[in-house]
Amino acid sequence: MIQKILSLVMIALLLCFVACKKKDKEQTELDTDSSQSEKHHDHGMEAPPENSTQMKVVNGIKVVFDLMDKENHKKMVEIMGVDLKEDSKDDHYALLTLLNDSDSSYIKNAEVDIVINYPDGKKESKKATILDGANMYHYQIGFQESGKGIYKIQTKIKTTDKELNSESEFKL
């Protein structure tokens, strides 16, 4: 009788061990899938600065903010195959990617206005231009860094059926 109880305990422990291993494997696969879903940000560039990509969901739209320097922006534009005339004064770029929250498809042809609040208190408002190529679709503006500190980026987005505002902050 004691042998049967010990056997059952051993089997239960073995089943728990197998279940835990399976859960760990599923979590690893989930983590891998999650990083794959963010591949639209991997433009073959050097590692971006800390907090250079931020995402928010607003009214059913994933609003993805990216901040990059001129060198990384140039590499991304080359990968996209876009012929872009850059303003030589701009040394940073704010990019916005709009995705349907339900299926992660790009939201195209929206009207996007972006306001940059600089650390020194200056504000600059620009209408975003569209970058479209190599299965990427971004709204972007270029700007000049005015010094180290927090840059607050505010957006006004108008799609065919929605109007929304979103904002994000980046430290340079």
* pLDDT value for 1: 56
Contact 66, 113 (CB under 8 A): no
In this predicted model, what pLDDT tens digit does every residue of 92-118 receive, in sequence order?
999 999 999 999 999 999 999 999 999
Residue 63 has pLDDT above 50, yes or no: yes
Residue 140 has pLDDT above 50, yes or no: yes
* pLDDT value for 17: 47
* pLDDT value for 154: 98
- Pair 80, 25 in one domain: no
- Pair 60, 140 in one domain: yes
> Domain holding 81: CATH number?
2.60.40.3340
- Pair 26, 70 in one domain: no
Contact 115, 125 (CB under 8 A): yes
* pLDDT value for 35: 36
User: 43 lies in a domain?
Assistant: no
User: 136 lies in a domain?
Assistant: yes
User: 42 lies in a domain?
Assistant: no
- The runs of H, that is alpha helices, within the chain are 2-37, 70-80
Give 85's contacts (C-beta < 8 A, 6+ positions apart): none
In this predicted model, what pLDDT tens digit does every residue of 6-56 receive, in sequence order?
444 455 444 444 455 444 444 444 333 333 334 444 445 454 455 589 999
* pLDDT value for 49: 52
How many separate domains does the chain show?
A: 2
- Pair 153, 87 in one domain: yes
Q: State the pLDDT confidence band at 82, using cuts at 50, 70 and 90.
A: confident
User: 83 lies in a domain?
Assistant: yes
Owning domain of residue 78: 49-171
* pLDDT value for 160: 92
Contact 128, 141 (CB under 8 A): yes
Q: What is the mean pLDDT of the chain?
A: 79
